[in-house]
Amino acid sequence: GQTLRLNGAELRALPSSQPRGAVVQGFRTRDWRILGPGRITGERNRHRGEGGEWGMGIAAWKSTGSSIEGVAVTNCRGDGIY
């Protein structure tokens, strides 16, 4: 039941060598929202490891009732929203 309001902010992933990760991640969550305007930026061009396709912008594992509005998700190594 949480709401993240970006209010024009950018959430940016730090460069990493990890094969998996997300800028925003939820596990078994429900009824959450991410509201823009705003931006979530991955670290595709700055990744320190080799390969990998699991660098997500937003990852919601086993979650229900989610909503994302007015948010640009870019430059992720994997899916922008998973």
Question: Are 40 and 57 contacting, i.e. CB atoms less than 8 angstroms apart?
Answer: yes
CB atoms within 10 A of CB 24: 19
Query: Cα dihedral angle (41, 52, 14, 76), rounded to 10 degrees?
Result: 0
What's the pLDDT score for residue 73?
Answer: 98
What's the pLDDT score for residue 27?
Answer: 94
- Bridge partners of 24, per DSSP, are 58
Please, what's the largest Cα pairwise distance for the chain?
Answer: 37
The Cα 73–Cα 57 span in angstroms is: 6
Q: pTM value?
A: 0.90
Tens of each residue's pLDDT in the chain, 82 residues: 999 999 999 999 999 999 999 999 999 999 999 999 999 999 999 999 987 789 999 999 999 999 999 999 999 999 999 9
